[in-house]
Structure 1
Amino acid sequence: MSGPLAGVRVVDLTSVVVGPICTRSLADQGAEVVKVEPPGGDLLRNLAQGSRNAGMSGKFIQFNRNKRSVCLDLKRLEGMAAMRRLVEGADVFVSNIRPSALARLGLDHEALAAVNPRLIHCSILAFGSGGRYAERPAYDPIIQSLSGVAATFERATGEPRFVPMVMTDHITGLIAAQCIGFALYRRERTGIGEAVEVPMFENMASFVMSEHMSAATFDPPVGPTGDNRILSPEYRPMATKDGYITVGPNTNAQAFGFFDAIGRPEMRDDPRFCSASARTTNAAAYFRLRMEALRERTTAEWLEVLSARDIPCAHYNTLEDLMEDPHLADRGFFQAEDHPSEGRLRRTAVPNHFGGGRREEELHAPRLGEHTREVLRQAGYEDSEVDRLIEAGAAQEAAC
């Protein structure tokens, strides 16, 4: 058995996070992903802190498993010719390069469809084409700022902040992988490839406003934007006698069970809390009630009491705690790996499973150009031709 994308060939001209997250998702499900890198390599190889060897940061390793690396200089004719050879035999081409730059390279959809009409050409963009921002450069914090992510923090805390992870890259990368799957399905029925455009800004604006359009959904609006429950300053882990806990009593059964657990059964009849809509309208008061009660016992005591009533609750994990979480240990989530150049590593497992099987061969995150010769040979190059490409500076392979 093998992964659902076994046999799908992907040429990956992406870097940093948003593109590699997309292609890692494809690779984890069995696709053959060839990561094409410039002579300096993916910026993430050296951008993130923490490494044993130059060019192999921990973050790069996490985002680039199950891929092979080919190093080509696309500014040289020979390098571009090799790239086009790879695309001719591919099912999918993915890039996160601005459209104008892609067109200058001759790697836009029209150019590549001429040599491979079955190709799924996916462009992950900062901003969708046709809008005034289309040619602007952007990274995750730019998109968080523009899309309203930072504004939700201002509404909740009085100060705009970024989510302390490259959330927009992760979300958009996974959406791009999803869109590629949709396009592959259509190609199976029609035999024809297509261009797919996945913009970060528009996807994140949709992500935020689907949640927070709220009463402004109606025209004219019947109230302000924003889910006041989620935007409440108290919407966060709450202090116990010895730490923190998160509780989520949302249904009437859960909320009334919570009132019983904290010794306040009379709150069932309080007009502020007697229904889900009332608790949403009075979210701040509902959260304050929780906060006052939860301070009275330890986290372990509350977990026992609340779990017995089937009330959603959880202890608070730090990043270090998460690496020791017993449920993740049961699932084998953090996996040990012996990397040929980086030594003993830990990486996250693929969390999703398919009954028809998973990827059979696990590949380590590649060194820059580690598979240049192997992949070009599979594309029809003789070893002598690869030697000439390397000597001309159009290709590069990893040092032994």
Structure 2
Amino acid sequence: MSGALEGIKVLDLTRVLAGPYCTMILADLGADVIKVEAPGGSDETRGWGPPFQNGVSAYYLCANRNKRSLTVDLKTEEGRDIVRELAKEADVLIHNFKSGSMEKWLLDYDSLKENNPKLVFCSITGFGESGPYRHLPGYDYIIQGMSGLMSITGDQDSSPFKIGVAMVDILTGLYSAISIEAALLERERSGKGQKIDMSLMDAAVSSLANVASNYLISGNVPQRLGNDHPNIVPYSIFKAMDGEIIIAVGNNRQFTTLCEVMKIPEIAKDEKYRTNEARVENRIELTNILENQLQLKSSEFWMELFSKNNIPCGPIQTMDQVFNHPQVIERDMVVQVNHPEAGSVKLVGSPIKLSRTATKVERHPPMQESILSRSFKKQGTLLKRFHNLSRKKLSTLGLIH
């Protein structure tokens, strides 16, 4: 079966994580993604390690599968001409250069749409293309701090913590993929492309969800609650006899059942804990009561008991436990691909499960030096003009033939 986005041509001028993650999603769905880098490889993540596998960065491998590769020097007019020619036939162009860079090179949306009015043009920047911070670069860590995410991560006795992965980049990549797909769908009706202005800051602020709503409604600045939920109790990590488990009780019925199976049914009837609102107000006292009971038995005992009674619970797993978990294995969340330099590489699989147009891993992440393969040359319309360039000109542009 063909991919859901088969026939969609994507010109990818991004690097690091947010943009490459977005285009990897599109590529997994069947889009023909051409990753454009400067001579020698301009994606910084190629050097972000250890770990490396045969000299290839694990970080780079995580976001670049299923893409073709092309070397173009955008510092030269000839290189920029190549992008203009490719953009004439592309469905999507995505970049994450600083605001103003594409305009300086005459590769901005207004310039490119003259020759391709159906082009969907996605810009990813730190702060967007409007506002007083539009010219500043954006980095996940800094945006985590500025957006408020770090102010609510950690506990009252700790410093603010960043999230354990570059979550702002991931969220921006996801929002970008959604936006591109929406613009392509709308194009089916209007016949016109459009520009998408994505911002790491916007994506991070949007992810604050209920915590942001709590502040906007109450005016109270949220504090760091560690592993506790700001709106629901008990919904946290609790200590059993031999370790910690997560209990996530979301309603009064579940709380009543929890108390019954823990042999403290009277707690569910106590006015201090009978409703979620009351439990939030008395979370510390309730947590102490629950942990006193939990520490009488092992975590395995409690999780088995809770699961039998439909009480949401779970362990806190390390990476080795995650990727050896039967559920993760069954869902194909680890895939293997052969790479000319790195050898056989394990990658995280796609979470997108479509019944007819399943995602596929068909290409390894592009190598350090881009090569125009025979199959790439056969792509036709996207590179027709490009293929007419002479071998000598390809060399002067920094392209490898």
TM-score by length of 2: 0.91
| Cα separation, 2, equivalents of 1:234 and 1:274 | 12
Match of 2:400 in 1: 397
| Cα separation, 2, equivalents of 1:314 and 1:294 | 14
Match of 2:220 in 1: 224
| Cα separation, 2, equivalents of 1:189 and 1:351 | 29
The code of the aligned residue for 1:126 comes to G
1:272/1:278 contact within 8 Å kept: yes
2:138/2:200 contact within 8 Å kept: no
Q: Secondary structure at the match of 1:63?
A: coil
Match of 2:44 in 1: 43
TM-superposed CA distance for 1:386, in Å, is 5.2
Please list every run of 5 or more consecutive structure 1 residues that lacks an aligned counterpart in the other structure: none
TM-superposed CA distance for 1:349, in Å, is 1.3
Match of 1:332 in 2: 332
1:213/1:225 contact within 8 Å kept: no
TM-superposed CA distance for 1:380, in Å, is 2.0
> CA offsets, 1:149-198, max 9 Å, x none?
11012564442111121010001110110011111111110000000011
After superposition, the Cα gap between the structure-2 partners of 1:397 and 1:289, relative to the gap in structure 1 and judged at 3 Å, is farther
The code of the aligned residue for 1:226 comes to P
Q: How does 1:136-175 map to 2 (within 5 A)?
A: 136-153=136-153, 156-175=156-175
Match of 2:64 in 1: 64
Q: Does 1:282 align with 2:282?
A: yes
Q: How does 1:221-300 map to 2 (within 5 A)?
A: 221=218, 224-226=220-222, 230-231=229-230, 236-300=236-300
> CA offsets, 1:113-143, max 9 Å, x none?
1111100000011002221111111211110
Match of 1:107 in 2: 107
After superposition, the Cα gap between the structure-2 partners of 1:216 and 1:152, relative to the gap in structure 1 and judged at 3 Å, is closer
Between 239-248 and 297-306, report the one with greater CA deviation: 239-248
After superposition, the Cα gap between the structure-2 partners of 1:65 and 1:215, relative to the gap in structure 1 and judged at 3 Å, is closer
> CA offsets, 1:338-380, max 9 Å, x none?
2232112111111111223224561111113434365467412
| Cα separation, 2, equivalents of 1:53 and 1:38 | 22
1:14/1:96 contact within 8 Å kept: yes
TM-superposed CA distance for 1:215, in Å, is 4.3
2:13/2:93 contact within 8 Å kept: yes
Please list every run of 5 or more consecutive structure 2 residues that lacks an aligned counterpart in the other structure: none
Q: Does 1:123 align with 2:99?
A: no
The code of the aligned residue for 2:222 comes to G
After superposition, the Cα gap between the structure-2 partners of 1:351 and 1:45, relative to the gap in structure 1 and judged at 3 Å, is same
Q: Does 1:385 align with 2:389?
A: yes
Q: Secondary structure at the match of 1:99?
A: coil
| Cα separation, 2, equivalents of 1:21 and 1:391 | 30
> CA offsets, 1:5-49, max 9 Å, x none?
111110000000010111111111111100001113211111232
Match of 1:213 in 2: 212
TM-superposed CA distance for 1:231, in Å, is 4.9
After superposition, the Cα gap between the structure-2 partners of 1:289 and 1:386, relative to the gap in structure 1 and judged at 3 Å, is farther
1:93/1:122 contact within 8 Å kept: yes
> CA offsets, 1:186-241, max 9 Å, x none?
11100000000111112211222x321344433xx4x5243875259996533322
> CA offsets, 1:238-281, max 9 Å, x none?
33222221111221121111111222110011112101222233
| Cα separation, 2, equivalents of 1:134 and 1:128 | 6
1:123/1:198 contact within 8 Å kept: yes
1:7/1:31 contact within 8 Å kept: yes
TM-superposed CA distance for 1:288, in Å, is 3.2
After superposition, the Cα gap between the structure-2 partners of 1:284 and 1:388, relative to the gap in structure 1 and judged at 3 Å, is farther
Match of 2:80 in 1: 80
* % identical equivalent positions: 29
1:14/1:97 contact within 8 Å kept: yes
After superposition, the Cα gap between the structure-2 partners of 1:71 and 1:286, relative to the gap in structure 1 and judged at 3 Å, is farther
1:37/1:70 contact within 8 Å kept: yes
Between 371-380 and 25-34, report the one with greater CA deviation: 371-380
2:147/2:201 contact within 8 Å kept: yes
After superposition, the Cα gap between the structure-2 partners of 1:373 and 1:380, relative to the gap in structure 1 and judged at 3 Å, is farther
Across the aligned residues of Structure 1 and Structure 2, the Cα RMSD in angstroms comes to: 2.4
TM-score by length of 1: 0.91
The code of the aligned residue for 1:327 comes to Q
Q: Secondary structure at the match of 1:285?
A: helix
| Cα separation, 1, equivalents of 2:309 and 2:100 | 58
| Cα separation, 2, equivalents of 1:359 and 1:310 | 33
| Cα separation, 1, equivalents of 2:191 and 2:386 | 31
| Cα separation, 2, equivalents of 1:200 and 1:217 | 21
2:85/2:386 contact within 8 Å kept: no
Between 16-25 and 316-325, report the one with greater CA deviation: 316-325
| Cα separation, 1, equivalents of 2:356 and 2:387 | 38
Q: Does 1:309 align with 2:305?
A: no
The code of the aligned residue for 2:127 comes to F
2:337/2:363 contact within 8 Å kept: no
Q: Secondary structure at the match of 1:170?
A: helix
| Cα separation, 1, equivalents of 2:36 and 2:132 | 30
Q: How many residues align?
A: 392
2:17/2:169 contact within 8 Å kept: yes
Q: Secondary structure at the match of 1:115?
A: coil
